[in-house]
Structure 1
């Protein structure tokens, strides 16, 4: 029997993950069955279960993959001296993430923002998924703290503010923007970039006596 190439295995895994992501974005985690996933990807149960044991493992893999790529991008930025400014950095990483998932649509709208909201909801009742998400955000937050330290060392940012606070604020801005995409429809990443640029342009002014 001929051996299956790694390229084929990777493509099949990608097919399953993308199909499951569409199902979860469309109907939510609990309303989606493994039969729905099998139908979406047009594969047998044996073919799918070779890669994933069930819905929980599928959603954890989807989350881990996205957060892993985001973490890698921010770690790369943290190694630059100085790192790119926040507006350019966030726009680049978020834009690349959205572009990677652009082919996945539900009713003509991008599926990824809807999927993110579904994941957040599921973490309230799924401790294992909550752990995966927490670990991923901790890694991204750690990278962002190193980016902030780079800004501070380069004199680009006030040094009296805790890097962790800035990191959490930046992550909150991105997550909030994704939530808006899910609730209100598509918008270019430039909207977030311009908002960050406006905030970055503010100058401290002395209070009037």
Structure 2
């Protein structure tokens, strides 16, 4: 009997994960059954359970993979030398994330934003998933902090603001844009880039009076 190649096994696992992600993005984790997943991927129960013991394991695998992909996307952009401006960098990360899974498209729109919203909601009731998400967020945040420190050293960002605070705010901007896409429909990443560029154009703190006097 011919041995199944690793390439075939990897492709089958990818098929199951993508099909499950479509189901979860479409109907949420609780309204999606394993039967829904089997129907989506057009495989037998035995074929699917060979890779995943059930829905909870599928959910954990998808969340872990999404976090890894976010980290990889950021690392790829952050390794550029010199680093792209912050607005361009965030746009590149978002664009890479939205284009990672050509198969995760429904009605012409990427399902990644809807899937992310479902993941966030699920972590509010699932302690194990919340732990995975928290650990993944911590790992993803550190490269952002390092990049902000590079920006500050190059004079591209104010150095009087903690890099951690700037990094968390940049992540929040990306997360907020994902939420908008999930709730209100897909939008060009250019919108996020333009908005960040506008915010970055705000002036710095008012110069101090060397004599310490105040107008009055």
Verify same fold: TM over 0.5.
yes
Please name the residue that 2:153 is paired with.
153
Kindly indicate whether the alpha-carbon contact (under 8 Å) linking 1:81 and 1:150 is maintained by their aligned counterparts in 2. no
Shift, 1:116, TM fit: 0.9
Q: Whole-Å Cα distance in 2 between the matches of residues 38 and 99 of structure 1? A: 25
Query: In the alignment, is residue 165 of structure 1 matched against residue 170 of structure 2?
Result: no
Counterparts of 1:1-209 in structure 2 under 5 Å?
1-204=1-204, 206=206
Deviations 1:56-99 (A, max 9, x none): 21122112212212212323444445422211111111101111
TM-score, normalised to structure 2, is: 0.90
Kindly indicate whether the alpha-carbon contact (under 8 Å) linking 1:77 and 1:147 is maintained by their aligned counterparts in 2. no
Shift, 1:105, TM fit: 3.2
Q: Whole-Å Cα distance in 1 between the matches of residues 114 and 162 of structure 2? A: 32
Deviates more, 1:74-83 or 1:141-150: 74-83
Kindly indicate whether the alpha-carbon contact (under 8 Å) linking 2:113 and 2:178 is maintained by their aligned counterparts in 1. yes
Give the 3 Å change call, closer, same or farther, for CA 56–138 of structure 1 in structure 2: same
Number of matched residues? 209
Q: Whole-Å Cα distance in 2 between the matches of residues 102 and 78 of structure 1? A: 23
Shift, 1:101, TM fit: 3.1
Secondary structure of the corresponding residue to residue 100 of structure 1: coil
Kindly indicate whether the alpha-carbon contact (under 8 Å) linking 2:144 and 2:167 is maintained by their aligned counterparts in 1. yes
Shift, 1:37, TM fit: 0.6
Secondary structure of the corresponding residue to residue 118 of structure 2: helix
Shift, 1:103, TM fit: 3.5
Q: Whole-Å Cα distance in 1 between the matches of residues 64 and 76 of structure 2? A: 18
TM-score, normalised to structure 1, is: 0.93
Larger radius of gyration: 2
Deviates more, 1:95-104 or 1:85-94: 95-104
Secondary structure of the corresponding residue to residue 179 of structure 1: helix
